[in-house]
């Protein structure tokens, strides 16, 4: 740990706020926390590597936002309230300018959710950002992947395929991730890639309504596949029900838009299962939160994922998955 790295930690520390349940925050050998009685801790970690999870030229503020967003999305998918976490930074150089811009995006999202940074690690190396995030969920109320039942509906929040479409445009040299796009549709897609919205309030509202949930990070088919596998059921997805944004539909053919929605990934929407009897309550949740919820299929006996008429279901994908293939042109 060099003097330059201490200066960076000081800048981060200056931006992090306290909370009554933080006994000791950044600055000692370890943080001390007082979890809520009657709650479980939900713990998750996600790393973003430059050139693998985001285009290398991505602006530091956007990297900061997304580094935390992908982790809060995992807490949302568990039905947990975000609480605290750590940040492990690997930086090619000790740039205070870079850190300040990164912190702008990171703490904008942290503060919006009352999530507090309580420690971390700062090293020199290829650009890589890793968060370990803790959330709290009342005993027995976590949303797991293994609770889906035969006959449950499958729902998804928001729209799918937007971020993957933006990545696809960037790969073809048709989108600059570092500047506001002139075209409103392109700008919408760009924001969906750079500034995903973790569905925290929705995750909390689904307690008692959903039987299983997952956040869509690797592509809908892959992620609903996790629920199917863990619940020992088959997921049937109806491609003509997929929620596609107007911007996505205006940007590409319907077939390509559906492929992007099914296999693209980086959506950070919630996909969940619920008994049909809960559908009117789910519509009320959607209304109350201003978050669209769409029923896209159902769970049946069997195994795997079924998506009739879509070649993608048989393993053909238009869009290279960012996590599997790396974000490269
Ligand atoms: P140690 O050598 O005891 O691990 P460090 O010198 O690495 O301590 O870090 C000093 C303090 O700064 C610790 O409290 C640590 O959690 C915190 N810290 C280091 N890097 C970060 C970071 N990137 N974000 C937040 N806190 C950090
Ligand atoms: Mg350390």
Indicate the pTM of the whole model.
0.94
Residue 17 half-sphere exposure toward CB, CA atoms < 13 A: 14
Residue 121, pLDDT above cutoff 50: yes
What's the rounded mean pLDDT across residues 94-114?
Answer: 97
In this structure, the strands spanning 81-91 and 116-124 are: parallel
Does the pLDDT of residue 132 top 90, yes or no? Answer: yes
How close is the Cα of 132 to the center of ligand 1, in Å? 14
Q: What is the pLDDT of residues 148-158, one digit of tens each?
A: 999 999 999 99
> Percent of the chain beyond pLDDT 90?
91
**How confident is the model over 12-44, as pLDDT tens digits?**
999 999 999 999 999 999 999 999 999 999 999
183 is in an annotated binding site: no
Q: Which of 10, 48, 120 to mutate to test the pocket of ligand 1 (most atoms within 8 A of CB)?
A: 120
Instruction: Tell me what pLDDT residue 318 has.
Output: 41
Distance (Å, rounded) from C-alpha 248 to C-alpha 63?
23
The finding on whether 120 has its CB within 6 A of some atom of ligand 1 is: yes
**Which residue did the predictor score with more confidence, 310 or 151?**
151
Residue 80 in contact with residue 36, Cβ under 8 Å? no
Rounded distance, CA 79 to CA 207, Å?
A: 6
**Does 53 appear as a known binding residue?**
yes
What is the pLDDT at residue 312?
Answer: 52
Report how far residue 203's alpha carbon sits from residue 212's, in angstroms, rounded to the nearest whole number. Answer: 11
CB of 20 closer than 6 angstroms to any ligand 1 atom = no
Instruction: Give the count of beta carbons closer than 10 Å to the beta carbon of residue 154.
Output: 25
- With a 6 Å cutoff on the Cβ, whether 29 touches ligand 1 is yes
Give the pLDDT score at 200. 98
pLDDT of 1 above 60: yes
328 or 220: which carries more pLDDT confidence?
A: 220
**Sign of the dihedral defined by the CA atoms of residues 20, 141, 216, 287, in that order:** negative
With a cut of 80, say whether residue 324 has pLDDT above it.
no
Contacts of 95 by beta carbon, 8 Å cutoff, 6+ apart: none
Q: Does 117 sit in the ligand 1 pocket, CB within 6 Å?
A: yes
Residue with the bigger pLDDT between 84 and 94: it is 84
Which residue's CA lies nearest to atom 2 of ligand 1? 29
Q: What pLDDT score was predicted for residue 195? A: 98
* Residue 216, H or E segment: none
Assess whether pLDDT exceeds 70 at residue 227: yes
Give the pLDDT score at 317: 44
Q: Running DSSP on this structure, what letter comes out for residue 1?
A: -
Q: Characterize the bridge pairing of strands 234-237 and 293-300.
A: antiparallel
Which ligand is nearest the CA of 88, by number?
1
Best of 1, 6, 9 to mutate for ligand 1, by most ligand atoms within 8 A of CB? 9
Question: 123 in helix, strand or coil?
Answer: strand
The least confident of 6-10, 207-211, 285-289, 300-304 is 6-10
Q: Which domains, ranges and CATH numbers included, belong to the chain?
A: 3-138 (3.30.1330.10), 153-315 (3.90.650.10)
pLDDT level of residue 326 (50, 70, 90 thresholds):
low
pLDDT in tens, 242-262: 999 999 999 999 999 999 999
Q: Please give the pLDDT value at position 25.
A: 96
Q: How confident is the model at residue 177 (pLDDT cuts 50, 70, 90)?
A: very high
SS3 61: helix
* Integer angstrom CA distances of residue 234 from 154, 221, 224, 278: 11, 12, 9, 20
Atom of ligand 1 minimally distant from the CA of 89? 23
Q: Cα–Cα distance between 171 and 176 in angstroms, integer?
A: 10
Question: Could you give the percent of the chain with pLDDT greater than 70?
Answer: 95
- Supply the angle between the helices 184-194 and 162-171 in degrees, to the nearest 10: 100
Confidence (pLDDT) at 311: 62
């Amino acid at each position: 740990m060099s003097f330059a790295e201490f200066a960076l930690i000081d800048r981060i520390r200056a931006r992090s706020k306290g909370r009554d349940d933080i006994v000791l925050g950044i600055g000692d050998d370890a943080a001390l926390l007082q979890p809520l009685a009657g709650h479980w801790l939900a713990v998750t970690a996600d790393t973003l590597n430059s050139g693998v999870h985001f285009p290398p030229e991505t602006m530091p503020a956007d990297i900061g936002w997304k580094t935390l967003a992908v982790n809060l999305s995992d807490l949302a998918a568990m039905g947990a309230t975000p609480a605290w976490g750590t940040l492990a930074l690997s930086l090619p150089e000790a740039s205070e300018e870079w850190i300040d811009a990164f912190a702008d995006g990171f703490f904008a999202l942290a503060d919006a959710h009352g999530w507090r940074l309580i420690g971390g690690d700062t090293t020199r190396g290829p650009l890589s950002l890793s968060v370990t995030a803790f959330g709290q969920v009342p005993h027995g109320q976590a949303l797991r992947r293994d609770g889906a039942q035969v006959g449950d509906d499958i729902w998804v929040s928001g729209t799918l395929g937007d971020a993957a479409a933006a990545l696809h445009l960037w790969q073809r040299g048709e989108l600059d991730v570092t500047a506001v796009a002139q075209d409103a549709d392109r700008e919408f897609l760009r924001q969906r890639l750079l500034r995903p919205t973790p569905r925290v309030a929705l995750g909390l509202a689904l307690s008692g309504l959903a039987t299983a949930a997952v956040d869509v990070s690797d592509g809908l088919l892959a992620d609903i596949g996790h629920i199917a596998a863990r619940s020992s059921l088959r997921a049937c997805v109806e491609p003509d029900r997929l929620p596609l944004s107007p911007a996505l539909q205006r940007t590409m053919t319907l077939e390509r838009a559906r492929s992007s929605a099914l296999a693209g990934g980086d959506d950070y929407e919630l996909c969940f299962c619920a008994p049909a009897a809960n559908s009117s309550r789910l519509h009320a949740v959607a209304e109350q939160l201003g978050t669209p919820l769409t029923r896209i299929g159902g769970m049946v006996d069997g195994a795997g994922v079924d998506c009739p008429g879509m070649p993608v279901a048989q393993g053909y994908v238009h869009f290279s998955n960012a996590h599997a293939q790396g974000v490269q042109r």
